[in-house]
Structure 1
Amino acid sequence: MARDGARPAYDPAGPDTELRAALQEVRTGRWMSMRTLLEDTATWWQWTQRTQVLAAAAAGTDVVRAWLAEDPHSVPAAVMQARVAVERALRARREEHRRTHELWIEAWDVSDAATRAAPHDPVPWVCLLALAQLDRRQLWEEHRVPPPEPMLPAGPWGLLAEADKRDPHNREAHHRVLQFLYAQAGSERLAEASGFAHWVADTAPPGSALHVLPLYVRVERYRRGGGQLAALDLHWVAEDAVREAEQACVNWFERSTPVERTPLDLNHLAHALWGALRFEDAARVFDALGPYYTPLPWAHRTADPGDRSQAVEVFLQARARSRSAAHDPDS
């Protein structure tokens, strides 16, 4: 564990050394290690995570196309084709590229095909959920399905149900619904996102990463407020903020195994506990992170969210403060 003051590293693979090796191969245009890694992936939560990270690296290459050319009947390759197509469509929207709509339809087609090629796999349905955020006016019928709970808005609930059927409480599927809610017009969507996150957390089993979901909404609310929501960062020490941080710590961190925790979730929890002045618990989460960090949510606490060096400095300050206070509660 990184108990000293060493600067943390951002690594999309985190502590997954096998994924890191496959990523290095993908970035050089080779796919054999990716195929082997996916063939050896035994759980849906790890499959979902690994395919997402690999797609982010493969989206700027032709590596999946080369894999399919060599093995056109490979089911993992078909799933990765959907992952890459979705990643490209989402990037095009962020960059306001003129081919966004074309890439969106292409991604939908290959994701829909992947649901049939891999009928027991939640990832093709996660891909369709990810694309739902591009339909900002909810013109597609599948994006305005009546909600499972009266307090929730119409949305892509059928897609979520399909993912959930294959992998109950799939982490990414629920995060994709949050992104869909964020993307819709109107400020009321943030309140709906908060309601959704709390409903999901309240129904998630012990140890599920979905207990961290409300912390993401709180960061988004802070981001939309331009970091000016309250003097002295009272946004993070409000009663409900403290409760969300403590519940995520107890229901997720203390009841999950290290291998099941993503660096992104750990960073959000460490950030929330630090902000809530729960330094002893925050120190334990920082220790669990070891040498890894993610730019978010720390970047939102800086003057320039695009400057990763500033995000690292906030992370280091938070880690040092938490460890110091945990060692000496009177400090």
Structure 2
Amino acid sequence: MPPLPPLLGARRAPTDPSGETAQDGSEAFDAALDDAELRTARAALAQGRRQAARSLLVHTGDDWDRRGHRLTVLAQTPCATARADDWLAAEPGSADAATLLALALVHRALRGAEEPGRARDACATAAALAPADPTPWLGLLLLARAFGPESVMLGTFAELIRRHPEHHHAHHLLIEGLAERPGSGRAEDHEAYDAAELAAAEAPADSPLAVLPVVAYAERYRVLAATGLAPADPAASRHWSGPRARRILRASFDWWLEWEHDEHPRRHIDLNHLAFALSCAGRPAEAAALFRRIGDHATPAPWAYTHRDPLAAFRTARTRALGR
């Protein structure tokens, strides 16, 4: 496979390679989304109290998407590295503490505050303590996505989905990377679209991976806009106007109407992608239904892909859709 284009390679901006909540200084974006228990545990951890986080992770069990989401958010807490170190000192061999430390080091590495090698070693340690858990591999995938090479990203993804084939965050990271590969020249032909549709087709009927093809279109738009191959205004790009795009949008919206899972921890990321796409495609009535469901849970991606203020982009699209 050819390498990723240098312009869009390892440390892309404006979004963090976690695929969910880049830090932009705005109080409007909360990585915890609507997980109240997670917000409580995060606040306690920031104050030096780990019991709430410990209990939260015990009760999360092997709900791998939720465990990955919760540990990713806890790992971005200020002083998360120190808190996890203290936890490990008190409970040597704790897989929860080791995984929190690993992801905290990963996010420090993504910010340029830590050596990626140390974060990789911590992920390997956590993986050895909990061989069935895909979450340490999520940390490794975040590093591979950010620092490459692509072959490592693909190999890490394969290890992760061997543990949880429908891992939501992992599939988003894979599609982000594939979207940066050169296109064939035909607007609706790209490996990212093919991979996303295949993953959606192979997943169970009620899997939120059904929305992954919409994510692929947003990621490809990000690449095209960054390289000057698409207008900065996504609504003017006609990126969502082709027959394949229209089919994907219709199928994803229909899936949401039939199968929406209020309990999935990352569902608001999917809702934001779908609302973005429908807004850009000029389908305000359908977008309005999604904006009502999203409420205050906006996510930077994909609204940041226009290189504008993502919160302003979200609010503008919402106002247009809701007629306010």
The TM-score range, normalised by the shorter chain, is 0.7 to 0.9
- For 2:223, the equivalent position in structure 1 comes to 224
- For 1:36, the equivalent position in structure 2 comes to 55
Matched, 1:53 2:65: no
- For 2:29, the equivalent position in structure 1 comes to 10
Against the structure 1 CA distance between its residues 22 and 161, is the aligned structure 2 distance closer, same or farther, given a 3 Å change threshold?
A: same
Larger radius of gyration: 1
| SS of residue paired to 1:236 | coil
Q: Which amino acid aligns with 2:118?
A: E
- For 1:79, the equivalent position in structure 2 comes to 99
| SS of residue paired to 1:205 | coil
- For 1:298, the equivalent position in structure 2 comes to 303
2:154 to 153, 156, 160: 156
Aligned mates of 1:238, 1:188 — CA distance in 2 = 16
Contact 1:122–1:164 under 8 Å retained in 2:
yes
| SS of residue paired to 2:301 | coil
Q: Per-residue deviation at 1:179? A: 4.0
Alignment of 1:52-201 (within 5 A): 52-58=72-78, 61-92=81-112, 103-137=115-149, 143=151, 156-157=154-155, 159-181=156-178, 187-188=182-183, 191-201=190-200
2:237 to 233, 237, 242: 233
Aligned mates of 1:203, 1:168 — CA distance in 2 = 10
Aligned mates of 1:12, 1:253 — CA distance in 2 = 25
Aligned mates of 2:224, 2:239 — CA distance in 1 = 10
Higher relative contact order (CA 8 A, sep 6+): 2
Alignment of 1:247-262 (within 5 A): 247-252=251-256, 254-260=258-264, 261-262=266-267
Q: Which amino acid aligns with 2:289?
A: R
TM-score under structure 2 normalisation?
0.78
Aligned mates of 1:105, 1:203 — CA distance in 2 = 34
Against the structure 1 CA distance between its residues 75 and 137, is the aligned structure 2 distance closer, same or farther, given a 3 Å change threshold?
A: closer
Contact 2:269–2:299 under 8 Å retained in 1:
yes
- For 1:279, the equivalent position in structure 2 comes to 284
Aligned mates of 1:156, 1:251 — CA distance in 2 = 28
Aligned mates of 2:275, 2:91 — CA distance in 1 = 43
Q: Per-residue deviation at 1:123? A: 0.9
Q: Per-residue deviation at 1:214? A: 2.3
- Consecutive unaligned residues of structure 1, counting only runs of 5 or more, are 1-7, 145-154, 326-331
Contact 1:82–1:107 under 8 Å retained in 2:
yes
- Please, what is the CA RMSD of the aligned residues? 2.8
- For 1:149, the equivalent position in structure 2 comes to none
Q: Which amino acid aligns with 2:171?
A: H
Aligned mates of 1:288, 1:254 — CA distance in 2 = 14
Aligned mates of 2:314, 2:208 — CA distance in 1 = 21
- For 1:22, the equivalent position in structure 2 comes to 41
Contact 1:68–1:74 under 8 Å retained in 2:
yes
Against the structure 1 CA distance between its residues 109 and 61, is the aligned structure 2 distance closer, same or farther, given a 3 Å change threshold?
A: closer
Q: Per-residue deviation at 1:160? A: 3.0
Aligned mates of 1:58, 1:253 — CA distance in 2 = 38
Identity over aligned residues, as a percent? 35
The one-character-per-residue Cα deviations of 1:168-196 (angstroms, maximum 9, x if unpaired) are: 3111122232344457xx62499333332
Aligned mates of 1:182, 1:113 — CA distance in 2 = 31
The one-character-per-residue Cα deviations of 1:223-256 (angstroms, maximum 9, x if unpaired) are: 2333762583312333322222222222345313
Q: Per-residue deviation at 1:47? A: 1.0
Q: Which amino acid aligns with 1:109?
A: D
- For 2:317, the equivalent position in structure 1 comes to 318
Contact 2:176–2:219 under 8 Å retained in 1:
no
Contact 2:105–2:119 under 8 Å retained in 1:
yes
Contact 1:65–1:81 under 8 Å retained in 2:
yes
Q: Per-residue deviation at 1:109? A: 1.5
Aligned mates of 2:288, 2:319 — CA distance in 1 = 9
- Consecutive unaligned residues of structure 2, counting only runs of 5 or more, are 1-26
Against the structure 1 CA distance between its residues 134 and 221, is the aligned structure 2 distance closer, same or farther, given a 3 Å change threshold?
A: closer
Aligned length: 287
Q: Per-residue deviation at 1:60? A: 5.8
Against the structure 1 CA distance between its residues 134 and 276, is the aligned structure 2 distance closer, same or farther, given a 3 Å change threshold?
A: closer
Q: Per-residue deviation at 1:38? A: 0.8
Q: Which amino acid aligns with 1:245?
A: L
Contact 1:263–1:293 under 8 Å retained in 2:
yes
Against the structure 1 CA distance between its residues 180 and 320, is the aligned structure 2 distance closer, same or farther, given a 3 Å change threshold?
A: closer
